[in-house]
Amino acid sequence: MEKVKREQQKNKLKFSKIKSVVLAGILLCSLTSCAILQEQALKEEAQESFTYEQFSEKKENDRLDIYLITKGYNSAYWDSLRAGAKAGAQNLECDLYVAGTPNESHLEILAELMQDAIDADADAIIVSPADIPEIIAMTDEVKKAGIPLIFVDTVLNGKAFDVCYATDNMQAGRMAAKEMIKLLEKEGKTETDALYIGIDIGMAESQTILERLAGFQEYWNNFAPKTWKVIEDIKINNGNVELAEKQGYEFMDQQSQLAGLVGLNNGSTVGLAKAVVARERKDLILVGFDYSDEMKQLITEGEYRAASIVQRQYEMGYESVKAAVQLASGNQSTYRYVDTGVQQVDFDNVNSPYIQKILSEM
């Protein structure tokens, strides 16, 4: 099988608006701003060659062959998910093959890796999908080949798959908004204060992110004082942490009444955290996702005001392999959607035994 290796490709993101999946109160990103962000992202990517993680050679034995494909590879989040999957494969005595892109750019490559897994006669395929034509078409090809298909981290509603292990992202978004309001109040902000919150996201094609955004806005519109506003320009970094950091600076420079930043995925959160530390903005509240080294520093040291919505990605990985073995062995999955849960982590609870146990699994 010819190994997949391509030069830099243009990012296909054409984001016109955040669609009606989000609730009526959602603030839309302007076309002009998104076009500028897309151009920035492409310039960033043009400076570096693009490679990605490919599958290792298939082993010759009688064990089940499970293929795991992620839309990100070089991050603590995906490291943890793969660790869970590897633990599952070891305990269940199957062979696990892993591949993925370095970040959420070039999502079309996931479809090619899915084709590679089909060509390798995979017994089951686990993938973190995205709502783009190439992946949507490839999900049909996987099912036509009679291969069990498990979604992990993200779901594509309306597509053929066997089971999905992911976070309830609407609820996770609500939790992020609740934590932001709580921390602002803890800092003494009241309903008479006019302030702004900036939101940074990874990919506009991600149903995961759209649901988190919907949940955040739903809770914010219902419970935040009317004088507390979300900046309409929701910035998109296309999975580029450096771009997310630059966008953090833009929020700071463009809004004098900025009181908080929200990163709705791991990469966005890491970029914003770097910006906050670089500018020493201890007056800003940062609420993000997952427990990167950057967020761990902000939360545990106590000098900054930060909280993170922690997912159970290790469990996602483990349970997805467990389901893959079950399905490949001819058994049916009891459930189609499995919520693996989230937990808010901040300075007040990070050292509790319960939170430490969750973090130790990551």
Count of alpha carbons within 13 angstroms of residue 184, beta-carbon side: 29
> Is 308:291 a contact under the CB 8 Å cutoff?
yes
Q: What does the pLDDT read at residue 53?
A: 81
Q: What does the pLDDT read at residue 51?
A: 61
% helix, strand, coil for the chain, step of 5: 40, 15, 40
109: its two tokens? 């490559």
- What are the CB-based long-range contacts (under 8 Å, 24+) for 92-96? 92/321, 92/322, 92/325, 93/63, 94/63, 94/64, 94/65, 94/66, 94/123, 94/321, 94/324, 94/325, 95/58, 95/59, 95/61, 95/63, 95/64, 95/65, 95/66, 96/66, 96/67, 96/68, 96/321
For the stretch 206-257, pLDDT in tens is 888 999 999 999 999 999 999 999 999 999 998 899 999 999 999 999 999 9
For the stretch 273-321, pLDDT in tens is 999 999 999 999 999 999 999 999 999 998 999 999 999 999 999 999 9
For the stretch 145-193, pLDDT in tens is 999 999 999 888 767 899 999 999 999 999 999 999 999 999 999 999 9
Q: What does the pLDDT read at residue 149?
A: 97
Strand partners, 67: 97, 125
CA 348 to chain centroid, in Å, comes to: 25
Q: What does the pLDDT read at residue 41?
A: 45
* Structural domains of the chain in order of their starting residue, each with its CATH number: 65-166+313-331 (3.40.50.2300), 169-311+346-360 (3.40.50.2300)
DSSP code, position 226: T
- Compute the distance between CA of residue 30 and CA of residue 46 in angstroms, rounded to an integer: 24
